[in-house]
Structures are given as structure tokens and as C-alpha cells.
Amino acid sequence: MLKSQSLDVEQVRKDFPILKRKIHGKRLVYLDNAATTQKPRSVIRSMVDFYSKHNANPHRGVHQLSIESTEAFDAGRKKVVSFINASAFEEIVYTRGATESLNLVRYAWGSRHIKKGDLIVLTIMEHHSNIVPWQLLAREVGARIEYVGVTPDGSLRFEELEALMGQSPALVAFTQSSNVLGTINDAQKICSMGRRAGATTVVDAAQSVPHMQVDVQKIGCDFLAFSGHKMLGPTGIGVLYGRKEILAEMEPFLSGGDMIKEVHISGARWNDLPYKFEAGTQNVEGAVGLGAAIDYLNSLGMDKVRSHEEQLAAYALEQMGSVPGITVYGPKDVSLRGGVVSFNLGDIHPHDLASILDEEGVAIRSGMHCAQPLLESMGLSATSRASFYVYNSYDDVDALMGALSKARRIFCL
């Protein structure tokens, strides 16, 4: 039963063709949204329409198709500007995803500003994409990395963060919302602390921008990264937000066509922002699809998206609380967590559990979730993870619970 929620889930589900699929003869219950989300017809249609009517290289031609392609490409960017409340068009750089966005910062900013002996502050709950680039940079220049730990309930240890801020870090990089624990970190507070300490701040918002209202000006971050495919958009398109004055002084990340104004035998002159960071033929259809995804989320209302996920998380935590042998990780207060619930059931390996659930049409994620340092700090090798989005409802949680009951019977728990 769908029950009353912030969103009309029954109507929302009609917009997603894939949700009509049967998996092993069962209704598809898709609970792997922290990995990637499904796409509504409007997003799919926008990309088909671009290829069918407007396909051409942007910025490089004066013929009609090129003009239309340029307009479509930059129209998507304007929607991103509004969606995260950036202060200028020039602050939005298209990338292939959050991973590339973070690597862009590592190379184009970090290589010039992080020096030997500098301190880089991360949290133990980071996705590998917000750890490995900084590890490589630290090894390259001789910087050091310190990690902020988490409490037993999955919250950041702010006393550790404050102590590290007192050591004048050069960089503070952190996730706004954990893809394992669901923990929502106070990005505004952390960036304020970083600013007072003289640090540059980088926010991994891959798990926050799709699920709540994110205002980069209010947060006060220097950089913020997210991916289109986690917010109903296509794969292969992402965004790096950067403060205009910082982006302006950075060197290009990739070089080649379109990121230049002039090239001579003796050298080259870079293009204006944001195009300086967008070398080569761009993923125009991805930008179009991302713009359509933003339109769709705006039509639902991000306040309702957030409220909907809080309700689902609360219901899931309540139902799981009655399951013998289950261990659930992360904050118990749903106002402090996103729609992500990681858990283990007895001694069933998460991969085995995911396979059993798949037989019931329930798609979850199992493993380390690209957050091995976090799991190791918790003494875990893997967890199971259910993650919710706008097309999920209580009946999906009920299906998950039924599949968990089957797993308990199979393993005699």
C-alpha cells in the first residue's frame, strides 16, 4: 500500500518506464538509488529530441544546428546555476561526474596550491573519489592527510575536526551526506570552520544535491561536486561548482579544442569561464538530460523530496528495528540522515543477501560501497544498503522486509 506521503508516489511511478519491469516474475523494487537513479520519460525524451532535431557541436559553428546545440548546452547550465543557487553562470563547469569534478580540483587547483608539509583534512566517511585524489596529491608533493572519525551513531567527531582546524589546514574536503551511513553533515558549519582556518573547502555533494535543497552561497564552499545520474539524469554528466575568482586563476585541467581562444606556435590563450575547463566535444545530450532532470525535481519540489525520504527512512528504521539479528548503521534521527539505510543481517554475507533479495525483485547494493576506510574503522568488511528516492514508498519497504524474512528462513536465523 502506498499510503499518504509528501509525494504522490503512484503518479510519480508512472513517469518511469523501467518500473514496469518484472524481475524473476516479481515487481521491480529498486532500492539502489545511492548508486544510480532511474530516469523519467521527460529526461529520456529530451535526449531523444536533441539527437533527433538539434545534434551538432556547440560553440563551433554558425549554422542553425550548431546554434541550437549551443543554446541547449548552456540552457542546461543555467538550470544548474539556479538549482544550487550559484552566483554566476561562469561558476558551473560540466564534467563526466563527481569523480571527475574532484579530480579537476586536485589537478588544476591542488597541484599549484598544496605544498610539502601542508595538511589536508578529510573525514573517514568519504567515498573513495574524495580520498584517492588527495592521497595521490599528498604523495606527490609531500603533504599529509588527517581523517576526522565518526561516533558510534555515525556522526562526525567535531572535536577532532576542531582540533585539526587549529593546525591551519590547506584543504578541507568532506561529503555533505554519507553514501553508507546516510549521515548529513553540516556543510555550512564545516565550511565556516575551514574559512576561519584559512583552508580551501571542497564538498562532495553527490548524495545531497539530488535529495535536498543545496545552496552553495549559503554553504560558503569553494568547490562542490555532484553527478547527474544520481538525480534522475543521464550518466556521463556531472558538475563542478567553483567560486568564480578561484576558477579564474586556475590552469586548465584538460587541453585541446574549445578550451582556448587562440593557439599560436609560441603558445595559447585560454577561453573564458567556464569553457576553459571543458576541452573537446562536450556531452551536450547529457547536459540536456540533466536540465530535464532538474525540471522534473523542481516540479516535485525539493522540500517534498526531502520530506518524502525522511518518512521512508523513518518507516524503514522502524520496521528493521523488529527484525531479530539485524544491525543498522547510521544516525537514528531521520532529520540527520538521508534516505540511505545500511545494515547487516546475522552472519549472512551481504552479497548472499543481495542475491536472495534479487530473486524477490528487490534491488539493493552490497559490499563496501566505495568507502572501505569507513567500513574498516567500523570493523566491517561489507554491508547491505537500501537507498530510497522519489518513486519509492512504504510498499517498497514492505517488499524489502518480506525478502529479508525469506533470507532469515533460508539461513535458519
Q: Which residues are catalytic?
A: 370
β partners of residue 365: 385
C-alpha span between 101 and 317 (Å, rounded) = 33
Q: What is the DSSP letter of 150?
A: B
The per-residue b/e assignment along 390-408, b for 16 or more CB within 10 angstroms, e otherwise, is bbbbbebbebbbebbeebb
Contacts of 395 by beta carbon, 8 Å cutoff, 6+ apart: 1, 2
C-alpha span between 399 and 113 (Å, rounded) = 51
Q: What is the DSSP letter of 108?
A: I
Residue type at 3 in one-letter notation: K
For 125, 181, 400, the CA distances from 363, given in Å and listed in that order, are: 24, 18, 9
Q: At what angle do helices 394-410 and 350-359 cross, to 10 degrees?
A: 120
Nearest to 317 by CA among 292, 301, 300, 337: 337
What 404-410 contacts at long range (C-beta under 8 Å, 24+ apart), as own/partner pairs, is 404/323, 404/326, 404/345, 404/353, 404/357, 406/356, 406/360, 407/345, 407/348, 407/353, 407/356, 407/357, 408/323, 408/324, 408/325, 408/345, 408/346, 410/356
For 124, 131, 135, 223, the CA distances from 146, given in Å and listed in that order, are: 9, 11, 11, 20
C-alpha span between 247 and 277 (Å, rounded) = 9
